[in-house]
């Protein structure tokens, strides 16, 4: 009564026909649980959705663009194809209708025909028009070319793209039969399942300790894992008891014989806690627990052998240990060869067409990077080759905090879409491959993901989970490729924005909304067991006032001044008055976040104002501290910025502590999470919080957001700053809103400084969390939802903040929209003038010429029909021939008298009453002409007899020529009528433009603005040199700057230093850089995969390529920080972050990196090569 109920009903009906007494009741029961059929109004039909048959798109193209009948068939027809390998659409002969009004004006522009725009739209990309610009390379002196975005032409093409999309929606259901067919197709493919509901009430679980009592949702999810046919995503609320549920599920799977050796991969610092929970639940279980020392180099071989040879109920190990056990080389190579074969097939297919489209270039880059990525990931020294993962005997995999592995790549034709990654982190790829192995072992079952936050920032992340946990379901629906999934369930929109650096513009693409949500979530719920706090009714404390308490603070005078300065700096960045390496919108955004907490983060010399939210938060925490002193209750303060550096400089942590102490809080009862460097120290600190010895603990989301169970005495939690993502907010709040808290009521405080970035960030965060929660739980009946994904301020927001007037943002948006509509109206007027010319002169002249030609051809055909000899006769130079061979010889002799100059003619004779003449064309070509009222031509060949045959055949084709010319006359009249209709169309946005202009006047008067043109979309401005969509080959890449140094951690200072010389890498525009400086070994900086990079001196020694020293590191672009993961130097040795070493050594490594980056700058290293390929050996590189 669940699952694929449509298929089951069809099978039951067939059986009922054969044995009605036995199966009729089954069919009747299944009828009651069928999904309600969707109507056309329920379904979002997106132009480019791959589930819609290509022939539908082709017919839409023919009908809408009025494709000439002779171009709908044959070798040179305009046709639409879809490649199953690349997932790309291709339209052939796109330039065939260069004179069509419909193609080049109604739905196209002078620069982009309707066919080109349609092809781009089907491939889910925004249209853009670029112009070539010649320039001299300052380094080489060579003349080079780059392409820059033409704003005006791009705006016009985008408008036509929108019109084509609207036309598709109208056309789709103009034919009722077509609408019914497509609706049925969608219902059959997507609206065909009923998710199963699992009940664990009947589970026996005989070996479980009597002291453990599972809650209803825990036993239900165990039943889900035992009885379902697929993998499981245990997406239960933070603190809902996922650990016991996962332990119980794994043990029961082992006891019942469905698996033999479950492995639990958990966060490193939770290994001991997981082991304790396991033994508490199953005291007699035989488990193997991997401690950190077991995976040190000297012990690793022996421990892995124990896993392989032992019989265990469970193996528990940390994430980093798990990642050190590699898959076999054979399996890695097989996976690589499979992907390489698919992409090679796709490249060959594109090359067979014309080999020039953008998709080919992207696939070639993808192939190169795929090869490099696989080689680098799977042959890394980090992997031990003693025993591989397959040899361990593990056949079930449980992954705690699985969201850490979401950064898995997928090929996509889309570019620069937020939430979509084209690269993979090493750990995510490793996990995906191991999950594939478990799936292969168990026929698509055996992987259990545990996370309280399956979607952290955007709904696009859901695809990554489905690709890992239910790839067969995606494949069954034709959604295995990301673009197919996105075109069915998402809408990508683009907007023109100032670059973060402020030195140009970029097209920013993001998922604007998701649609067809019920069908997406029905498929997702086949694997996902989702339980939120309000669904569970857990024994968690209640929030005072029913929700988080918002404490607002007024802007201090210094904050107001700094916010005003931000507005002034934004103005300068926007107008190009400042170098992007010195100031940019990213830096402004980070500073805006800092100053909203305390302006001393920007200028430490400023006075300590008691009204900042830092002071307000500290006083509130101190107040609660004293109120709860008798019970020694505890509090958490979360702050992701201004962390302690230990160098005496101003930071939020020390400043907060100073206020707390001043308010009477004992210093020894305040702690920072950053003080605990090792797992043992962290556990000691947590125990002190549990006992109340430490009563106020302050930390960041990264260090305190997951795996910290100190809830028993927590009475208050303070969000001093705004979390970056909804998942961060959930993880923070999950520290206090969880089982085991002894307090009946607790408080959560959100601190907001008014007229700063705070309110904007909280609004976005809460909005995103609300829709993610509604969709994931299925509470929402909406079929469409918006997807907000922006945490960086643009110019309008800065101006609005700087003036404390939201009308500023409206003013900027109004000016931009007026400029855009002005461009469109100007183009509409130009097009209308062009159409008036064509209506008045061009088409009438063409039609008159065609009519005269037809009249002449009709007369010629009549003459030929009357004069055609019954037997062969041809006159050559006055002599009549009745034998073709003689005529041919004479014809060839006579032809040699034709002059050698272009345009020379020679009368040859006649055939059927039509004079024959030769004409010397430009070059060496000669044509034969049959001259009547019209002239009929064919080429002079080298065969004597062949020329006579050509003349006869040419005469015979007069009737065909006449029909072709009549067809062209029909087409000209059709184009004339189309031009008349198009010229009568008013400017569609006239009313909107008038309203905006009126609103602009009102805003100008109210705000006393001077009427200055907006440089963003000024229609008459020639600004193609600043409209870079993305750096093309040889183009200078912008360099981002990091946050202000006053509040940088050491990790952030490393990021800032790297940005000085590695902008293209950090921007994601390149994967490889080579830097040179006279007198020093070359430097190579390259992306290893995902967020992991390496930098090394690269040189040759005794014929060997050397990389020494070499550091690998990860980059967190959210917090603009760098974290080293390994270090290799010939005279020192090898270091890994997973090695057991003193924290001082890690600090030393970061200091070494800092000094090295400084030296690179001072030693004059400059980029020599920057490549989109992740290898120094590729030919296709571009210099900067």
Work out whether strand 542-543 and strand 745-753 pair parallel, antiparallel, or are unpaired: parallel
Which pLDDT does position 1085 carry in this prediction? Answer: 87
Whether 584 is in a domain gets the answer: yes
Which pLDDT does position 1048 carry in this prediction? Answer: 61
Same domain, 222 and 85: no
- The Cα 1133–Cα 503 span in angstroms is 44
Q: Is the dihedral of CA 1162, 1165, 1166, 1172 positive or negative?
A: negative
Residue range(s) defining the domain that contains residue 1061: 1049-1171
Which pLDDT does position 940 carry in this prediction? Answer: 93
Same domain, 524 and 560: no
Which one, of 611, 636, 638, 620, lies nearest residue 723 by Cα? 638
- The Cα 106–Cα 130 span in angstroms is 21
Which pLDDT does position 1027 carry in this prediction? Answer: 28
Whether 1143 is in a domain gets the answer: yes
Whether 990 is in a domain gets the answer: no
Whether 1007 is in a domain gets the answer: no
Which one, of 765, 761, 711, 764, lies nearest residue 738 by Cα? 711
The Cα angle at residue 674 between residues 668 and 676, in degrees rounded to 5:
75
CA 437, chain centre distance (Å): 27
Same domain, 436 and 357: no
Q: Is residue 358 within 8 Å of 90, Cβ to Cβ?
A: no
- Taking only the tens place, the pLDDT of each residue in 1093-1139 is 888 887 766 655 667 778 888 887 666 778 887 777 654 445 554 44
Rg of the chain, C-alpha, whole Å: 36
Domain final position from 983, 1002, 1017: 983
Whether 1183 is in a domain gets the answer: no
Same domain, 21 and 63: no
Which one, of 901, 956, 958, 898, lies nearest residue 928 by Cα? 898
Which CATH number belongs to the domain containing residue 571 in this structure?
Answer: 3.40.50.300
- The Cα 599–Cα 608 span in angstroms is 9
Q: Is residue 1141 within 8 Å of 1129, Cβ to Cβ?
A: no
Same domain, 346 and 461: no
Which pLDDT does position 620 carry in this prediction? Answer: 97
SS3 581: coil
Whether 824 is in a domain gets the answer: no
Which pLDDT does position 710 carry in this prediction? Answer: 92
Which residues of the chain, if any, have pLDDT below 50?
382-384, 498-505, 788-793, 795, 798-799, 801-803, 1009-1046, 1131-1133, 1137-1141, 1174-1184
Domain final position from 805, 834, 855: 805
- The Cα 686–Cα 950 span in angstroms is 97
Query: How far from 547 is each of 57, 613, 740, 824, CA to CA, in Å?
Result: 50, 20, 20, 48
Helix 795-803 to helix 585-597 angle (10° resolution) is: 30
How many CB atoms neighbour CB 42 within 10 A? 16
Same domain, 778 and 642: yes
**pTM of the entire predicted model:** 0.68
- Residues in Cβ contact with 188 at an 8 Å cutoff, skipping those fewer than 6 apart: 6
Residue 644: left if φ>0, alpha if ψ -120 to 50, beta else—which one?
beta
SS3 255: helix
SS3 273: helix
- Residues in Cβ contact with 423 at an 8 Å cutoff, skipping those fewer than 6 apart: 369, 373, 409, 1087, 1089, 1090
Whether 42 is in a domain gets the answer: no
Whether 1063 is in a domain gets the answer: yes
CA 117, chain centre distance (Å): 21
Same domain, 556 and 625: yes
Which CATH number belongs to the domain containing residue 252 in this structure?
Answer: 3.40.50.10810
Same domain, 354 and 415: no
Same domain, 519 and 582: no
- The Cα 498–Cα 521 span in angstroms is 36
Which one, of 612, 642, 613, lies nearest residue 749 by Cα? 613
- The Cα 447–Cα 362 span in angstroms is 33
Q: Which residue has tokens 């902008």?
A: 1063
Tokens representing 425 are 């982190």
CA 600, chain centre distance (Å): 37
Same domain, 600 and 731: yes
Tally the domains of the chain. Answer: 7
The enclosing H or E element of 683 equals helix 679-691
Which one, of 115, 116, 124, 160, lies nearest residue 48 by Cα? 124
Same domain, 84 and 18: no
- Residues in Cβ contact with 547 at an 8 Å cutoff, skipping those fewer than 6 apart: none
| Edge-to-edge strand list for the sheet holding 528-531 | 287-289, 314-318, 262-266, 396-400, 447-450, 232-236, 528-531
Same domain, 650 and 737: yes
- Helices and strands (H, E) in the chain, number of each type: 38, 35
Query: How far from 315 is each of 223, 278, 659, 881, 913, CA to CA, in Å?
Result: 22, 11, 47, 101, 99
- The Cα 821–Cα 1000 span in angstroms is 14
- The Cα 82–Cα 481 span in angstroms is 14
Which pLDDT does position 60 carry in this prediction? Answer: 97
Tokens representing 92 are 């052939």
Which pLDDT does position 1040 carry in this prediction? Answer: 33
63 backbone dihedrals φ, ψ, rounded to 5°:
-70, -45
The per-residue DSSP string of 616-670 comes to HHHHHHHHHHHHTTTTT-EEEEE-SSS---SSS---HHHHHHHHHHHTT--GGGE
């Amino acid at each position: 009564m669940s699952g694929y109920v449509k298929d089951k009903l069809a099978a039951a009906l067939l059986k009922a026909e054969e044995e009605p007494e036995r199966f009729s009741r089954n069919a009747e029961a299944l009828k009651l649980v069928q999904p309600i059929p969707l109507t056309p109004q329920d379904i979002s039909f997106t132009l480019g959705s791959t589930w819609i048959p290509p022939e539908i798109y082709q017919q839409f193209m023919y009908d809408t663009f009025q494709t000439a009948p002779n171009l709908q068939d044959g070798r040179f027809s305009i046709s639409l194809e879809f490649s199953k390998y690349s997932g790309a659409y291709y339209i052939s002969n796109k330039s065939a209708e260069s004179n069509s009004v419909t193609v080049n004006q109604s739905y196209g522009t002078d620069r982009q025909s309707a066919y080109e725009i349609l092809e781009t739209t089907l491939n889910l990309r925004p249209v853009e028009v670029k112009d070539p610009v010649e320039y001299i390379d300052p380094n080489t002196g060579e003349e080079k070319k780059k392409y820059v975005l033409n704003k005006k032409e791009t705006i016009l093409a985008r408008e036509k793209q929108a019109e084509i999309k609207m036309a598709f929606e109208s056309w789709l259901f103009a034919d009722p039969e077509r609408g019914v067919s497509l609706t049925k197709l969608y219902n059959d493919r997507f609206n065909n399942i009923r998710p199963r509901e699992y009940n664990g009430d009947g589970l026996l679980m005989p070996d479980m300790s009597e002291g453990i009592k599972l809650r209803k949702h825990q036993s239900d999810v165990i039943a889900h894992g035992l009885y379902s046919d697929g993998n499981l995503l245990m997406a239960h609320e933070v603190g809902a008891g996922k650990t016991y549920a996962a332990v119980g599920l794994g043990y029961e799977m082992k006891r019942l014989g469905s698996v033999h050796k479950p492995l639990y991969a958990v966060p490193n610092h939770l290994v001991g806690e997981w082991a304790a929970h396991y033994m508490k639940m199953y005291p007699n279980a035989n488990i193997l627990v991997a401690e950190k020392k077991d995976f040190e180099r000297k012990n690793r071989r022996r421990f892995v052998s124990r896993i392989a040879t032992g019989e265990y109920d469970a193996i528990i190990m940390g994430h980093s240990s798990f990642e050190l056990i590699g898959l076999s080389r054979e399996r890695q190579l097989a996976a690589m060869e499979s992907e390489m074969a698919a992409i090679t097939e796709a490249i060959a297919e594109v090359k067979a067409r014309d080999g020039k489209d953008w998709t080919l270039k992207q696939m070639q880059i993808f192939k190169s990077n795929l090869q490099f990525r696989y080689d680098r990931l799977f042959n890394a020294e980090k992997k031990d080759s003693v025993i591989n993962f397959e040899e361990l005997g593990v056949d079930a995999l449980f992954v705690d905090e699985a969201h850490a592995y979401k950064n898995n790549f997928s090929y996509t034709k889309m570019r620069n879409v937020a939430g979509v990654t084209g690269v993979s982190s090493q750990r995510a790829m490793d996990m995906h491959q191991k999950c594939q192995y478990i799936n292969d072992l168990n026929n698509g079952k055996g992987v259990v993901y545990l996370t309280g936050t399956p979607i952290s920032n955007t709904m696009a992340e859901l695809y990554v989970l489905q690709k890992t946990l239910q790839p067969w379901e995606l494949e069954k629906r034709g959604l295995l490729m990301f673009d197919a999934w996105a075109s069915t369930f998402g809408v990508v929109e683009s907007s023109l924005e100032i670059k973060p650096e402020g030195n140009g513009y970029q097209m920013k693409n993001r998922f604007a909304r998701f649609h067809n949500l019920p069908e997406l979530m029905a498929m997702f719920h086949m694997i996902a067991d989702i339980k939120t706090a309000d669904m569970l009714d857990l024994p968690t404390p209640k929030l005072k006032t029913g929700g988080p308490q918002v404490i607002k603070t007024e802007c201090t005078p210094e904050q107001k001044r700094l916010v005003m300065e931000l507005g002034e700096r934004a103005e300068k960045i926007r107008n190009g008055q400042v170098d992007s390496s010195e100031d940019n919108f990213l830096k402004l955004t980070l500073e805006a976040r800092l100053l909203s907490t305390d302006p001393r983060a920007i200028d430490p010399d400023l006075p300590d104002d008691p009204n900042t939210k830092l002071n307000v938060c500290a006083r509130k925490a101190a107040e609660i501290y004293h109120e709860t002193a008798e019970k020694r209750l505890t509090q958490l303060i979360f702050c992701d910025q201004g962390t302690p550096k230990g160098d005496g400089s101003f930071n939020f942590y020390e400043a907060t502590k100073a206020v707390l102490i001043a308010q009477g809080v004992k210093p020894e009862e305040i702690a920072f999470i950053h003080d605990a460097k090792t797992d043992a120290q962290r556990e000691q600190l947590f125990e002190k919080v549990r006992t109340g010895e430490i009563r106020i603990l302050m930390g960041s989301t990264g260090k305190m957001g997951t795996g910290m169970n100190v809830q028993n005495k927590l009475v208050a939690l303070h969000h001093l700053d705004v979390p970056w993502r909804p998942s961060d907010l959930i993880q923070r709040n999950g520290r206090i809103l969880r089982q085991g808290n002894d307090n009946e009521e607790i408080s959560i405080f959100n601190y907001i400084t008014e007229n700063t970035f705070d309110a904007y960030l909280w609004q976005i965060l809460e909005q995103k969390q609300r829709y993610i929660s509604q969709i994931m739980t299925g509470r929402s009946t909406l079929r469409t939802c918006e997807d907000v994904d922006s945490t960086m301020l643009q110019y309008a927001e800065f101006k609005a903040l700087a003036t404390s007037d939201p009308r500023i943002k409206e003013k900027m948006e109004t000016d931009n929209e007026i400029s855009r509509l002005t461009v469109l109206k100007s183009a509409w007027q130009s097009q209308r003038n062009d159409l008036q010319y064509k209506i008045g002169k061009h088409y009438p002249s063409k039609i008159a010429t065609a009519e005269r030609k037809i009249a002449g051809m009709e007369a010629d055909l009549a003459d030929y029909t009357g004069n055609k000899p019954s037997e062969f006769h041809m006159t050559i130079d006055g002599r009549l021939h009745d034998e073709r061979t003689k005529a041919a010889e004479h014809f060839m002799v006579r032809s040699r008298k034709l002059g050698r100059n272009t345009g020379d003619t020679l009368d040859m004779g006649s055939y059927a009453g039509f004079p024959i003449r030769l004409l010397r064309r430009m070059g060496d070509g000669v044509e034969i002409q049959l001259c009547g009222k019209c002239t009929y031509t064919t080429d002079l060949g080298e065969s004597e007899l062949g020329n006579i045959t050509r003349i006869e055949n040419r005469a015979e084709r007069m009737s065909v020529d006449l029909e072709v010319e009549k067809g062209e006359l029909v087409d000209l009249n059709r184009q004339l009528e189309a031009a008349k209709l198009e010229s009568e169309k008013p400017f569609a946005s006239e009313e909107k433009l008038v309203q905006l202009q009126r609103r602009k006047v009102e805003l100008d008067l109210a705000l006393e603005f001077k009427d200055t043109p907006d440089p963003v979309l000024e229609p008459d401005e020639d600004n193609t040199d600043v409209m870079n969509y993305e750096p093309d080959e040889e183009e200078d890449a912008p360099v981002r700057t990091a946050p202000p140094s006053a509040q940088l951690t050491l990790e952030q200072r490393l990021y800032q230093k790297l940005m000085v010389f590695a902008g293209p890498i950090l921007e994601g525009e390149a994967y490889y850089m080579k830097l040179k400086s006279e007198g020093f070994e070359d430097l190579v900086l390259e992306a290893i995969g995902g967020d992991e990079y390496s930098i090394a001196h690269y040189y040759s020694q005794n014929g060997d390529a050397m990389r020494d020293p070499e550091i690998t590191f990860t980059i967190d672009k959210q917090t603009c920080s760098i974290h080293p993961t390994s270090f290799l130097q010939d005279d020192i040795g090898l270091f890994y972050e997973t090695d057991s070493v003193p924290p001082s050594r890690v600090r030393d490594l970061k200091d070494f990196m800092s000094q090295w980056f400084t030296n690179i700058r001072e030693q004059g290293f400059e980029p020599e090569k920057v490549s989109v390929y992740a290898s120094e050996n590729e030919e296709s590189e571009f210099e900067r």
